[in-house]
Amino acid sequence: MNINFRNETFRDDYTFRNSPETIRRFPFPFHEDKYMYSVNMEPHVPAGPAGHAYNNPIDVDEHYVAEMRDRALVLKEDPLRYQALPHMMAAQWDTLELLMESQAAAYPEHFSLTKDGDRWHWVNRPLGIDQTFTFGDASTLPMEPLEFITRQAQGDFCIVDQRDGNLWMDAGMVTTQADWSLDFDVGMNFFEWHGPVPLAHEIGVFERALKFLLNLQQGKPVRRLNWTMTINPRLDTSPENYHKWGPDRATVTPENVGDKVHLRCELQSLWRLPRSNAILFVIRCYLIKMEELVTIPKWGRRFHRVLRDLPPELIDYKGLTRYRPATVEWLSKFDDGKPTTPGIYPD
Amino acid sequence: MLVAGIKSRPVYGGLSVDPNARRHLFALEGEGALALTEEAARSGADFLKNADILYVASGSRAADHDKALTALGADTFWLSPTVPVLLNRLNVMLGQAKMGTRLYVAVTEGFIGQAMQVALNHGIDHASIRCEHRGSAARRVQCVHCKGVTDNVTTSPYVCTHCGLSLLVRDHYSRRIGAFQGVNIDAEEPGTAPQPEELFP
């Protein structure tokens, strides 16, 4: 499958768009007409109609090259977005192996990996990278293995160490986040880094999720979808830069909702790593404009209902307060009140 | 406005002496002296012959707590002129500490956070450090934007002493940084920051 990589931006002039095919493969995060937190995890196995974001374990799409360019820009401004505590080196190699093998297996036209014992040869054609290195010897790569490979893979990546019956955020590459700081959260345990999330602690979501994840098995990754909303297709909605993107939230008008307001979906996948016994937590961000979303009638109806009926705590936590009314009003034109089919896929 | 009830907010269990420790290392600031003198009165003074006390008076110089600490007759007592000097000494002592050493820290949150940072760098499990918080609720806060840390923040919002943004103080706490998180409060409509409220007197 040859992907036609778009030349686009996620800042300044915001030329990001989804092609009609990419709209149809969007991992729409609502399986019913309402939303509340849950431990909505399922096996991360290939699923969905042909071309869907669930087809491959590590998804590469038409935004790949532009997203990697945006990541490089973020890192230039703020190197603290990449961090790895010293005891995480084995897990870094685990991650490099997983991402190289997954991308090469699913997209052989674009990536290839050949191994001669510990001597590995990696070719990334879209980004023009050709690297021979010794697996396990960090001095044979131009940077740490986790940084090297996550500059070539879409999504944010956190590696969590498992000890004392808890999970610890001990390494990561985070440049496309929904308003949380890796620099601040590095070294925290599962409950601590989720500390700011409202309601979910009280209904026991995190206890159950942690119990589940501590037993995650190698070769059996799991996934869940999470979501928020972003004004303009900006990948870097970090707290570090909140004072730069925050004002965008006040720019939504009834006329520009369709173009400016984006549903931001996170396809989160979790993988037990073989050498380190750590867990790789992939947080892959997908953006879709309201005017793109409503081209799928089921999604237009459903998202209108979800957003209209959202609990107040979630409206506040997700930062939707200013522009939710205008967005609900705009979406209402696409909701004829008809019932929707179960599940996340287009009809 | 305070975002409260966050699970990363530390809870301090109090400065109770561990009877099983072979060595007791106390890093105390200001009113933290009272946490130790009261504990000695409660649990008996036996442990003091195996105790090292590092003390900095900070804001409570006038109370002469150092005299009360000296009178305890611990194996060593050392009075530090400032917090950084104390932390430096703590760092060296932890580097030389033996198995069975228990660390105790009191009293302001900012001091506890900084002492704990030193300890974490020596691989000490944070949960094994016995801490007591008394007196001022002033916070050490890191600006999430410029990463500058400001000590003794008593209001929210406060103005970052490094970059000048007006910051909401959250309950979200990082042990690694030893600070709470400050986030720009009027990012969405610059110039609309509310008046600072004295939340951490």
Averaged pLDDT for residues A311-328:
93
Cβ neighbours, 10 Å, residue A333 = 10
Asked whether residue B43 carries a pLDDT value surpassing 80, the answer given is yes
Identify whether A80 is part of a domain.
Answer: no
pLDDT for residue B1: 38
pLDDT for residue A198: 72
Please answer whether residues B176 and A186 qualify as being in contact, where contact means their C-beta atoms are separated by less than 8 angstroms. Answer: yes
* A247–B174 C-beta distance less than 8 A: no
Please answer whether residues A267 and A286 qualify as being in contact, where contact means their C-beta atoms are separated by less than 8 angstroms. Answer: yes
Q: What's the sign of the alpha-carbon dihedral A61, A66, A68, A74?
A: negative
Averaged pLDDT for residues B162-171:
96
Find chain A residues with C-beta within 8 A of B174's C-beta.
Answer: 184-185, 187-188
pLDDT in tens, A155-169: 999 999 999 999 999
pLDDT in tens, B80-95: 999 999 999 999 999 9
pLDDT for residue A270: 97
- Mean pLDDT taken over chain A: 96
A205 Cβ contact list (under 8 Å, min separation 6): A37, A38, A39
Percent of chain A past pLDDT 90, that is, above it, reads 91
Instruction: Residue A31: give the domain boundaries.
Output: 20-58+155-332
Identify whether A261 is part of a domain.
Answer: yes
**Residue A190 CA from chain centroid, whole number:** 18
Give the separation between CA B61 and CA B29, rounded to whole angstroms: 10
Asked whether residue A10 carries a pLDDT value surpassing 60, the answer given is yes
Catalytic choice (A17, A24, A69, A224): A224
In A, minimum Cα distance to B144 occurs at A240
pLDDT for residue B135: 83
For chain A, what's the residue count? 347
Please answer whether residues A280 and A94 qualify as being in contact, where contact means their C-beta atoms are separated by less than 8 angstroms. Answer: yes
Q: B156-160 long-range contacts, Cβ below 8 Å, gap at least 24?
A: B156/B1, B156/B2, B156/B196, B156/B197, B156/B199, B156/B200, B157/B1, B157/B185, B157/B193, B157/B194, B157/B196, B158/B182, B158/B196
Which has the closest alpha carbon to B165: B183, B140, B141?
Answer: B183
Find chain B residues with C-beta within 8 A of A193's C-beta.
Answer: 8
Averaged pLDDT for residues A34-52:
91
In B, minimum Cα distance to A249 occurs at B188
Percent of chain B past pLDDT 70, that is, above it, reads 98
pLDDT in tens, A101-115: 999 999 999 999 999
Q: Is A125 a residue of the active site?
A: no
**Whole-complex ipTM:** 0.89
Please count the structural domains in chain A.
1
Which has the closest alpha carbon to A28: A345, A304, A302?
Answer: A345
Location of structure tokens 């685990």: A94
Find chain A residues with C-beta within 8 A of B189's C-beta.
Answer: 247, 250
B95 burial via Cβ count (<10 Å: 0-12, 13-18, 19+):
exposed
Eight-class DSSP state of A248: G
Asked whether residue B3 carries a pLDDT value surpassing 70, the answer given is no
More confident position, A193 or A39:
A193
pLDDT for residue B146: 97
Averaged pLDDT for residues A55-79:
98
Weakest-pLDDT range from A145-154, A170-179, A319-328, B54-63: B54-63
In A, minimum Cα distance to B117 occurs at A187
pLDDT for residue A197: 78
Identify whether A109 is part of a domain.
Answer: no
Cα-based distances in Å from A2 to A49, A106, A111, A210: 18, 11, 11, 39
Identify whether A91 is part of a domain.
Answer: no
Asked whether residue A199 carries a pLDDT value surpassing 80, the answer given is no
B23-29 vs B51-56, strand pairing mode: parallel
Identify whether A79 is part of a domain.
Answer: no
pLDDT for residue B4: 59
- Among candidates A196, A201, A247 on the partner chain, residue whose Cβ is nearest the Cβ of B188: A247
Domains located in chain B, CATH noted: 23-133 (3.40.50.80), 139-198 (no CATH)
Identify whether A93 is part of a domain.
Answer: no
- Among candidates A195, A242, A250 on the partner chain, residue whose Cβ is nearest the Cβ of B183: A242
* A241–B145 C-beta distance less than 8 A: yes
A13 Cβ contact list (under 8 Å, min separation 6): none
Residues in chain A whose Cβ is within 8 Å of chain B: 80, 181, 183-188, 191-196, 201, 239-243, 246-247, 249-250, 322
pLDDT for residue B199: 94
Q: Please provide the DSSP assignment of B126-170 as one string.
A: GGGSEEEE-S---EEEEETTT--EEEEE-EESEE-TTT--EEEEE
pLDDT for residue A36: 85
Structure tokens, A133: 């290195």
Averaged pLDDT for residues A192-205:
81
Percent of chain A past pLDDT 70, that is, above it, reads 100
- Among candidates A184, A239, A250 on the partner chain, residue whose Cβ is nearest the Cβ of B174: A184
In A, minimum Cα distance to B7 occurs at A195
Compute the count of residue pairs across chains A and B with CB atoms less than 8 Å apart: 68
Tell me the pLDDT band of A201, cut-offs 50, 70 and 90.
confident
* B187–A246 C-beta distance less than 8 A: yes
- Among candidates B8, B145, B187 on the partner chain, residue whose Cβ is nearest the Cβ of A188: B8
* B188–A184 C-beta distance less than 8 A: no
pLDDT in tens, B8-38: 888 899 999 999 999 999 999 999 999 999 9
